[in-house]
């Protein structure tokens, strides 16, 4: 057969004739023109040879993007394969207008950096999505499996970053609206300063459902920028810090878990208005949670478990709010507030403390701290230690266990209020007030267990101890040394059966008042209700309407003078206790301070302005109240076998508030069919209405204009209200 004209065969190779050259040239020019056009559409990537509409490697696709830019949205479906060599996108034109997507055709693809600094690098290119891929093989100082720099609206989704030498799994710098979702960093990143995820000067970043495994110096690092969010992040075996946030305001961390041995589980510095919700620090930490110079911190449901030298510390942090903070790590220091003012601690638990030098809660230079529902349990040196922290408030504090020093200790802290409080522990002293604790109030306190002394105060002025029950002290119930104008109102002070020096021990005290107290000293011989040294503490009539009962000892001992009964005591020059009793108060039982219906203390006291309630918030009789901490209440389960109706008491914190507050009811569960909460504005107009059945209600106030509101609760005929102040 003759060869076809125009295609002669020479050595079995085709040779172009002059007539074929124009066609081939036009084809080459068309291909070059197509390759010069901005990219748009779908371009498969994988082995099989390059073509106009496909690329052999991911880097070839990236080179085309770098050279041609974008004329529309571009998608690169990638064949499952190991692609060797780094991939870099730089300055892709049109990326602000269109998207770039790298995704696998089926089950995934791997990009191996081959020892280069970055496996996948994006610089000054926006709207890049990387999905379902694996990155490995990056090495060198400053290396990263994935790197985004000056590239906004990036997305890394369902990817895995693996290396034994890489410094960082994912690094993002100077980016806005970056998203990381359902990805993993793993491997032994032994480089000093290595990070699983590293965000620098980023804004509005969102990280969800990611895990940091293997060995890494810091699990997640966020530095600079603002308004970054992380949700459901697990960090394991970080050697230095699990979560580190610095100079980044308005960070939000939800569902974070840090496991392993670290110096810091959560380390936050100079980041105001940060929010933390449902976070867990588990393992061995020097500092499990550490905040420094972070104003307006907001934390909900934070838990520290394992072993920590310091569980949670706030240093130089003002206006912080912590709700449901649980510490179960046997710390040397549980919660520490150091130079941090105006903080609110709500529902705190420090349990399993086991050290004679441990402190459950330490406040040092933390004025105006407010704490509600705080509990410390275990063996400790001091459960609550408050130093240089004036105007601190404790409500519903509880202490159980054994204290080497004291259950609660205050020093250089004026205007402190503790009410109510339950201390059931073995300690040398339950409550200690040191120098310059002026105008403090201890009210509605229950102090049980075995203690040498119940409450001791040194060189303080204006102390009030009211509506409190002190039982089973073996030495002295209330000890006042060098105190000025202390006031003891409506207290039940009962010593142990076989020991006791005095119910009230007063040394160099002036201007004291003692009214409506039951002081029962069960000791023998040298024991007394009052033991007085130095200046006589009472002006005429300032000790009266008490029940001073000391069947085995004396009513009072003033220096070396013993007053065995009321008649002799009344003969003292100041004529004390003219209307007082000296009779068995007839409690319901030895371990029950409630008065029986036949108690001589019923209706035998005098009304004291400013104290309308007893230890259980029952109303006191305004004309003839009972003596002691308990006002006999007909219908109470402890007194007549029938349950008493509980009054709902409504409280709000934080208050004043910015965007939300938590309303808390001090009673138990309520009947949702009859319990209503209504919010009124300053003009009395109804703003919101709820039917509630739980003791907590988180109230979103973002839509509320700045101003004053009233939250009003009504339940079964009872009404309670609280004023809310909304600020911005």
Taken in order of first residue, the domains within the chain and their CATH numbers are: 442-643 (no CATH), 650-726 (2.60.40.1220)
Give, for 718, the enclosing helix (H) or strand (E): strand 718-726
d(CA 195, CA 144): 9
Q: In which order are the strands placed within the sheet that holds 675-680?
A: 686-691, 675-680, 707-715, 718-726
pLDDT at residue 18 greater than cutoff 60: no
For residues 698-703, average pLDDT? 79
Within a 10 A sphere around the Cβ of 48, how many other Cβ atoms?
10
Residue 354 reports pLDDT greater than 80: yes
What is the pLDDT averaged over residues 303-332? 90
Model confidence band, residue 49 (pLDDT cutoffs 50, 70, 90): low
Q: Which two tokens stand for residue 50?
A: 């390059």
Phi, psi of 63 (to 5 degrees): -60, -40
When pLDDT is cut at 50, 70 and 90, the band that residue 13 belongs to is very low
Q: What is the pLDDT of residue 164?
A: 77
Whole-number Å distance between alpha carbons of 247 and 267: 12
The tokens of 100 are what? 């770039």
Binning pLDDT at 50, 70 and 90, where does residue 463 land?
A: very high
524 phi and psi angles, rounded to 5 deg: -120, 165
Beta bridge partners of 426: 402
Q: In which element (H, E) is residue 32 found? A: helix 21-36
| Cα–Cα distance measured from residue 646 to residue 668, given in angstroms and rounded to the nearest whole number | 8
Nearest to 379 by CA among 400, 361, 397: 400
Do residues 592 and 581 touch, judged by C-beta distance below 8 A?
Answer: no
DSSP string, 392-444: -EEESEEEEEEEEEEEEEEES--S-EE-SEEEEEEEEEEEEE-TT-TT-EEES
Q: What is the pLDDT of residue 638?
A: 55
pLDDT at 306: 80
Return the pLDDT at 357.
Answer: 87
Q: Which residues face 307 on adjacent strands?
A: 284
- The DSSP code sequence of 502-518 is EEEEEES-BSEEEES-E
pLDDT at 208: 96
For the chain, how big is the Rg over CA atoms in Å?
A: 37
Q: Up-side HSE of residue 677: CA atoms within 13 Å toward CB? A: 26
Q: How far is CA 291 from the centre of its chain?
A: 11
Q: What is the mean pLDDT of residues 357-377?
A: 94
pLDDT over 80 (residue 486): yes
pLDDT higher than 60, residue 245: yes
Residue among 369, 376, 482 at smallest CA distance from 427: 376
CA atoms within 13 A on the CB side of 250: 9
For residue 648, the model assigns a pLDDT of 62
This prediction has a pTM of 0.80
23 sits in which H/E element: helix 21-36
Task: Locate 345 and state its tokens.
Answer: 């601690």
CB-CB contact of 327 with 304 (8 Å): yes
Q: How far apart are the first and last CA of the chain?
A: 94
Average pLDDT over residues 552-567: 90
> Which of helix, strand or coil describes residue 612?
coil
Q: Which residue has the higher pLDDT, 330 or 475?
A: 475
Q: Is 588 exposed, middle or buried (0-12, 13-18, 19+ CB in 10 A)?
A: middle
**Spatial contact of 595 and 630, defined as CB atoms under 8 Å apart:** yes
Q: Are 254 and 232 in contact (CB under 8 A)?
A: yes
**pLDDT exceeds cutoff 80 at 155:** yes
Query: Which of these ranges, 69-78, 478-487, 587-596, 637-646, has the smallest mean pLDDT?
Result: 637-646
Task: Give, in order, the Cα–Cα distances in Å from 80 to each of 147, 582, 675.
Answer: 22, 93, 61
DSSP track, 538-588: EEEEEEES-EEE-TTSEEEEETTEEE-SHHHHHTSTT---TT-B-S---EE
Secondary-structure breakdown of the chain: helix, strand, coil percentages, each rounded to the nearest 5: 5, 55, 40
| Residues 119, 87 contacting (CB under 8 angstroms) | yes
Distance (Å) of CA 451 to CA 194, 545, 592: 52, 27, 18
H helices then E strands: how many in the chain?
4, 58
Between 24 and 172, whose confidence is greater?
172
pLDDT band at 166 (very low <50, low <70, confident <90, very high): confident
SS3 12: coil
- Least Cα distance to 163 among 189, 191, 130 occurs for 189
The sign of the dihedral angle between the CA atoms of 577, 580, 584, 590 is negative
Q: How confident is the model at residue 50 (pLDDT cuts 50, 70, 90)?
A: low
Band (pLDDT 50/70/90 cuts) for residue 719 is low
Q: What is the pLDDT of residue 635?
A: 61
Residue 617's pLDDT is what?
85
**Average pLDDT estimate for 269-279:** 95
Q: Which long-range contacts (CB under 8 A, 24 or more apart) does 136-140 make?
A: 136/110, 136/111, 136/112, 136/161, 136/162, 136/163, 136/187, 137/112, 137/113, 137/163, 138/86, 138/113, 138/163, 138/165, 138/166, 139/113, 139/115, 139/163, 139/165, 139/166, 140/115, 140/116, 140/167
- At 20, list the tokens: 């074929």
Whole-number Å distance between alpha carbons of 254 and 300: 9
25-39, 185-199, 714-728: least confident range = 25-39
User: Which residue is it, tokens 């209440």?
Assistant: 633
pLDDT of residue 685: 74
Cα-based distances in Å from 400 to 393, 448, 467, 590: 20, 10, 21, 20
Phi (first) and psi of residue 134, to 5 degrees: -120, 140
Q: 12 pLDDT exceeds 50?
A: no
pLDDT band at 644 (very low <50, low <70, confident <90, very high): very low
Which tokens belong to 621?
């009789």
Question: Which secondary structure element, helix H or strand E, spans residue 22, and what is its range?
Answer: helix 21-36
Residue 711 confidence class, pLDDT cut points 50, 70, 90: confident
Among 171-180, 381-390, 422-431, 649-658, the least confident range = 649-658
Mean pLDDT of all residues in 592-610 = 92
What is the average pLDDT value for the chain, to the nearest integer?
A: 87
- For the chain, what percent of residues have pLDDT higher than 70? 89
């Amino acid at each position: 057969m003759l060869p076809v004209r125009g295609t002669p065969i020479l050595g079995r190779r085709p040779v172009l004739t002059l007539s074929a050259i124009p066609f081939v040239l036009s084809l080459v020019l068309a291909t070059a023109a197509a390759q010069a056009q901005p990219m748009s559409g779908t371009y498969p990537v994988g082995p099989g040879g390059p073509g106009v509409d496909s690329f052999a490697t991911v880097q070839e696709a990236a080179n085309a993007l770098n050279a041609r830019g974008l004329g529309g949205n571009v998608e690169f479906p990638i064949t499952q394969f190991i692609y060797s060599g780094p991939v870099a996108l730089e300055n892709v034109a049109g990326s602000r207008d269109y998207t770039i997507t790298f995704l696998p055709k089926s089950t995934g693809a791997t990009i191996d950096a081959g020892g280069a600094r970055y496996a996948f690098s994006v610089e000054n290119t926006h709207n890049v999505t990387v999905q379902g891929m694996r990155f490995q093989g990056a090495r060198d100082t400053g290396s990263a499996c994935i790197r985004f720099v000056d590239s906004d609206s990036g997305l890394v989704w369902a990817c895995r970053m693996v290396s034994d030498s890489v410094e960082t799994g994912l690094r993002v710098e100077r980016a806005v609206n970056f998203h990381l979702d359902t990805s993993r960093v793993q491997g032994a990143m032994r480089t000093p300063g290595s990070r699983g995820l590293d965000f620098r000067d980023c804004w509005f970043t969102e990280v969800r459902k990611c895990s940091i495994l293997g060995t890494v110096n810091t699990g997640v690092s966020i530095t600079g920028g603002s308004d970054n969010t992380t949700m459901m992040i697990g960090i394991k075996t970080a050697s230095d810090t699990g979560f580190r946030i610095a100079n980044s305001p308005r960070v939000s961390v939800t569902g974070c878990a840090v496991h392993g041995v670290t110096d810091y589980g959560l380390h936050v510095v100079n980041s105001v208005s940060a929010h933390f919700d449902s976070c867990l620090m588990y393992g061995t930490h020097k500092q499990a949670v550490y905040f420094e110079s972070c104003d307006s911190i907001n934390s909900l449901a934070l838990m520290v478990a394992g072993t920590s030298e310091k569980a949670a510390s706030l240093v130089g942090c003002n206006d912080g709010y912590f709700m449901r903070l649980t510490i179960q790590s046997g710390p040397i220091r549980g919660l520490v507030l150091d130079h941090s003012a105006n903080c609110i601690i709500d529902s705190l638990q420090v349990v399993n403390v086991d050290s004679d030098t441990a402190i459950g809660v330490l406040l040092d230079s933390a004025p105006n701290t407010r704490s509600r529902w705080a509990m410390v349990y275990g063996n400790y040196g001091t459960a609550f230690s408050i130093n240089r922290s004036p105007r601190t408030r404790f409500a519903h504090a509880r202490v159980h266990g054994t204290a080497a020093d004291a259950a609660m200790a205050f020093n250089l802290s004026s205007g402190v209020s503790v009410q109510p409080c339950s201390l059931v522990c073995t300690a040398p002293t339950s409550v200690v007030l040191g120098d310059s604790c002026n105008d403090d109030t201890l009210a509605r306190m229950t102090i049980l267990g075995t203690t040498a002394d119940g409450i001791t105060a040194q060189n303080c002025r204006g102390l009030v101890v009211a509506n409190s029950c002190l039982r089973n002290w073996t030495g002295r119930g209330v000890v006042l040394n060098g105190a000025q104008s202390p006031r003891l109102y409506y207290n039940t002070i009962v010593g142990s059966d076989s020991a006791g020096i005095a119910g009230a021990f007063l040394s160099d005290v002036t201007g004291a008042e003692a009214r409506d107290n039951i002081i029962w000293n069960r000791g023998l011989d040298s024991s007394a209700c009052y033991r007085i040294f130095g200046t006589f503490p009472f002006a005429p009539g300032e000790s009266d309407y008490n029940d001073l009962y000391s069947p085995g000892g004396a009513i009072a001992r003033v220096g070396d003078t013993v007053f065995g009964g009321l008649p002799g005591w009344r003969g003292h020059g100041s004529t004390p206790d003219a209307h007082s009793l000296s009779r068995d108060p007839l409690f319901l039982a030895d371990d029950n301070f409630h008065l029986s219906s036949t108690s001589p203390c019923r209706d035998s006291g005098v009304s004291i302005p400013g104290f309308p309630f007893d230890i259980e918030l029952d109303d006191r009789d305004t004309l003839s109240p009972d003596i002691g901490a308990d006002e006999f209440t007909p219908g109470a389960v402890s007194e007549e076998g029938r349950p008493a109706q509980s009054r709902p008491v409504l409280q709000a914190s934080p208050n004043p508030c910015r965007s939300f507050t938590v309303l808390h009811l001090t009673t138990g569960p309520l009947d949702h069919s009859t319990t209503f909460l209504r919010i009124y504005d300053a003009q009395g107009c109804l703003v919101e209405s709820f039917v509630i059945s739980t003791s907590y209600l988180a109230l979103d106030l973002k839509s509320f204009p700045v101003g004053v509101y009233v939250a009003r609760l009504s339940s079964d005929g009872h009404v309670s209200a609280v004023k809310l102040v909304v600020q911005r």
